[in-house]
Amino acid sequence: MHQARIHNSMPTVIVVGGPAGTGKTTIAELLSKHYECPFLEGDSLHPQANVDKMSQGIALTDDDRWGWLQTLTEQASSKAISNPNGHLCVVSCSMLKKMYRDYIKQTAERVATDAKTTVHFRFVFLHTTYEELLRRVNGRQGHYMKLDMVHSQYEIMQIPEGAELLKNGGEALEVDTTDKDPERIYNEIVVDLDKSHPQDD
């Protein structure tokens, strides 16, 4: 187990994303425990209209997602700003498209301006094969995500690349979870987050 190193005075939100079945919630909970910070489950913040659509196997549109992303970002940013233990918050959110990730950052800027601070982001994008996603989602009990929704999410998924990636000066990690258990995935993420986290001046 790594010792938490990401803590400093700069409010930071770690967004764990990817399509259904990649283990967002599991990894996000591990990171939250590791960094001893709040965790927000993004799915729980969907308005009922979105939940109803997904329960019927109807894919969400961009317009369905904007309000959800705004609520999620406002709550996560506020928790990071107000959290005295390292100013961190971890949130799970599919953030399937680059424009969703950009919208999250834009929304956070408004929250940070009101709070007279800056909120930094780290986007951890989990992905695997389509067949593996189907297998994992099929094994779930009581979740509103239907199997035919997996195809929709997989089709619109935009894995961070190029300038988005941390190694290229961006804010994102892309993590292939194929044939890896949660502990291995989590450990790899912590190493990359700790060495890339912005430090105070």
pLDDT tens digits for 13-28? 999 999 988 999 999 9
Domain ranges of the chain: 16-195
pTM here?
0.88
CA distance 49 to 28: 25
**Mean pLDDT of all residues in 99-118:** 88
Residues forming beta bridges with residue 125, ordered by sequence position: 17, 174
Residue type at 40 in one-letter notation? L
What is the pLDDT, as a whole number, of residue 21? 86
For residue 146, pLDDT over 70 is answered with: no
Range in 79-88, 112-121, 136-145, 147-156 the model is least confident about: 136-145
Q: What letter would DSSP give residue 165?
A: B
Rounded average pLDDT over 180-184:
94
Q: What is the pLDDT of residues 48-83, one digit of tens each?
A: 999 998 888 888 899 999 999 999 999 999 999 998
- Residue 128, Cβ neighbours under 10 Å: how many? 21
Q: What is the pLDDT of residue 147?
A: 67
Q: How confident is the model at residue 174 (pLDDT cuts 50, 70, 90)?
A: very high
**For domain 16-195, which CATH number applies: 3.40.50.2300, 3.40.50.300, 3.40.630.30, 3.30.750.24?**
3.40.50.300
Looking at residue 121, its amino acid is F
With 70 as the cut, is the pLDDT of residue 173 above it? yes
- Better pLDDT: 106 or 136: 106
Q: How far is CA 196 from CA 17, 33, 59, 76, 186, in A?
A: 18, 20, 35, 20, 15
User: Dmax of the chain from CA atoms?
Assistant: 50
Q: Is the pLDDT reported for residue 105 higher than 80?
A: yes
Give the bridge partners for 191, in sequence order: none
